[in-house]
């Protein structure tokens, strides 16, 4: 087994030097951030070429994160998916409980290389915030996390974790008070404090180089999973399935499979109460091309370019944008995107808990619900790979209310 876990894209076809994945991407940022964003791009190129950076990051990924993450077959769960074989890539077993740590450790090392002493980040479900607060504790960096007020309430456990780790958590009260607004506020902080501050962006969106750089830090997910499933099942999967909010865990899983034309790449977007109700965050299903948070991609917006407020039961997917590489995969036909409702995700969350003893994050449960559908579509010979991007401890309050698990409440 290879000991390399930092595996930047060897292909290099996309993005272009200007950060374009086909028609999507680019760098739509205020002049005040141009120098800082360029500095990130230059430093990342230097880091990629520096064996010492790879050595440090690989060491952290093995001895701190606990890579490689396991691949778990889930036969009792798969009985509900038309008899398909289903393997889960266990990013929930990483330190801090999700895939987010992969990107955070890479960017934290980059922060040190740039000589910056303060890190800011946005967070939705709190997984990226917790991972960032963790890395800042490890490296002795000041840390401020922006989180929508709605999310600080539904993910209160993660707020406490971030504060325990020494981070300042700012509850953002503007707009829909969710992930989008947390990103707005983080950008405002960055513009004002850019000299000593790195914006440790948590997904494969934002201005170039973030979409490509964050993808590179997560590529390890798919590289490991591809090797593991070949060893265990003797062949490549029929489909690789992941949830998509901004799209980081999905691109991490998909990327190593892009050249494997027979492997379908299926992203599961949050349909909330149903795409037809208007209360959803299914950006690729219902959005139009536009610019949000520094790049061109699909965006949920009205006829005049105002961003519409998204909705999902999952704080981590409750976002009206999507990484530009997903927009590119969708338009090129290489990626497929389908929408999964709150209810389907919650049922899948309970099903995996009860059949396999694994409580997934509500985000990841969207991918599990998608896998149940795809399994039924493909029949019993199908082989599916699902990214279990995070664990569900943080979601127990939401789940307990949803299913009536607290004493004195009825069951749903």
Partner 1 sequence: MTTGNIQLLSDTLAKARAENRAALIAYLPAGFPTVDGGIAAIKAVFDGGADVVEVGLPHSDPVLDGPVIQTADDIALRGGVKIADVMRTVREAHEATGKPVLVMTYWNPIDRYGIERFTEELAAAGGAGCILPDLPVQESAVWREHADKHGLATVFVVAPSSKDERLATITAAGSGFVYAASLMGVTGTRESVGESAADLVRRTRATSELPVCVGLGVSNSTQAREVAAFADGVIVGSAFVKRILDADGDEAAGLTAVRELAAELAEGVRRVS
List the catalytic residues.
100, 122, 389
The Cα 104–Cα 235 span in angstroms is: 32
Question: Binding string, 25-64, against partner 1, x = CB under 8 A?
Answer: -xxxxxxx-xxx----------------------------
Parallel, antiparallel, or unpaired: how do β-strands 142-148 and 168-172 relate?
A: parallel
206 closest CA partner among 221, 187, 189? 187
CA 357 – CA 90 distance, rounded (Å): 13
196 binds partner 1 (CB under 8 A): no
Task: For partner 1, give the closer residue by CB, 293 or 391.
Answer: 293
Cα of 399 vs its chain's centroid, Å: 21
Interaction mask 232-271, partner 1, x per CB under 8 A: ----------------------------------------
Q: What single string gives the DSSP state of each residue in 346-369?
A: HHHHHHHHHHHS--B-HHHHHHHH
Return the residue matching tokens 């064996």: 51
Number of residues that bind partner 1 (CB under 8 A): 35
Q: Which stretch binds partner 1 (CB under 8 A): 20-28, 77-85, 164-172, 393-401?
A: 20-28
* 292 binding partner 1? (CB under 8 A): yes
Shortest distance, position 320 Cβ to partner 1, whole Å: 9
Q: Which stretch binds partner 1 (CB under 8 A): 95-103, 125-133, 189-197, 369-377?
A: 189-197
Alpha-carbon span 64 to 131, nearest angstrom = 12
The nearer residue to partner 1, 87 or 199, going by C-beta atoms, is 199
Residues 136-175 that bind partner 1 (CB under 8 A): 174-175
* Stretch near partner 1 under the rule CB under 8 A, chosen from 85-93, 187-195, 198-206, 353-361: 187-195
Residue closer to partner 1, measured from CB, 11 or 304: 304
- Put the strands of the sheet holding 288-292 in their side by side order: 20-21, 24-25, 295-299, 288-292
* Alpha carbons 15 and 394: distance in angstroms, whole number: 35
Beta partners for residue 146, in sequence order: 122, 170
Q: Does 303 bind partner 1 (CB under 8 A)?
A: yes
Q: Is 386 helix (H, G, I), strand (E, B) or coil?
A: strand
Binding site for partner 1 (CB under 8 A): 18, 26-32, 34-36, 174-175, 180, 184, 187-188, 191-195, 288, 290-293, 299, 301, 303-308
């Amino acid at each position: 087994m290879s000991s390399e876990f930092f595996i930047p894209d060897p292909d290099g076809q996309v993005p272009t030097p200007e950060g374009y994945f086909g028609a999507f991407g680019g760098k739509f940022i205020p002049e005040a951030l141009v120098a800082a964003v360029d500095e990130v791009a230059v430093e990342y190129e230097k880091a990629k070429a520096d064996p010492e950076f790879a050595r440090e990051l690989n060491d952290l990924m093995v001895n701190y994160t606990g890579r490689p993450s396991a691949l778990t077959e889930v036969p009792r769960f798969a009985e509900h998916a038309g008899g398909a074989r289903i393997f889960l890539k266990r990013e929930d077993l990483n330190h801090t409980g999700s895939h987010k740590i992969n990107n955070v450790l890479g960017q934290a090392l980059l922060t040190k290389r740039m000589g910056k002493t303060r890190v800011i980040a946005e967070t939705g479900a709190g997984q990226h915030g917790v991972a960032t607060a963790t890395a800042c504790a490890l490296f002795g960096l000041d840390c401020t996390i922006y989180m929508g007020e709605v999310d600080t309430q539904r993910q209160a456990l993660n707020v406490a974790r971030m504060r325990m780790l020494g981070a300042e958590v700012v509850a953002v009260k503007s707009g829909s008070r969710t992930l989008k607004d947390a990103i707005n506020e983080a950008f405002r902080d960055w513009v004002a404090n850019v000299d000593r501050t790195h914006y440790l962006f948590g997904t494969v969106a934002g201005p170039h180089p973030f979409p490509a750089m964050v993808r590179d830090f997560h590529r390890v997910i798919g590289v490991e999973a591809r090797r593991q499933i070949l060893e265990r099942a003797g062949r490549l999967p029929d489909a690789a399935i992941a949830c998509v909010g901004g799209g980081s865990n999905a691109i991490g899983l998909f990327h190593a499979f892009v050249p494997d034309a027979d492997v379908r790449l299926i992203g599961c977007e949050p349909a909330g109460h149903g795409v037809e109700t208007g209360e959803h965050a299914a950006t690729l299903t219902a959005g139009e091309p536009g610019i949000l948070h520094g790049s061109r991609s699909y965006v949920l917006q009205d006829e005049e370019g105002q961003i519409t407020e998204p909705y999902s039961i999952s704080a981590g997917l409750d976002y009206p944008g999507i990484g530009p590489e997903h927009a590119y995969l969708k338009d090129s036909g290489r990626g497929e995107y389908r929408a999964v409702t709150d209810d389907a995700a919650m049922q899948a969350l309970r099903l995996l808990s009860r059949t396999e003893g694994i409580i997934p994050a509500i985000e990841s449960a969207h991918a599990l619900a998608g896998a149940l559908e795809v399994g039924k579509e493909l029949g019993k010979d199908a082989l599916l790979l699902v990214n279990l991007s995070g664990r569900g401890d943080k979601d127990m309050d939401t789940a307990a209310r949803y299913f009536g698990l607290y004493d004195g409440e009825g069951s749903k």
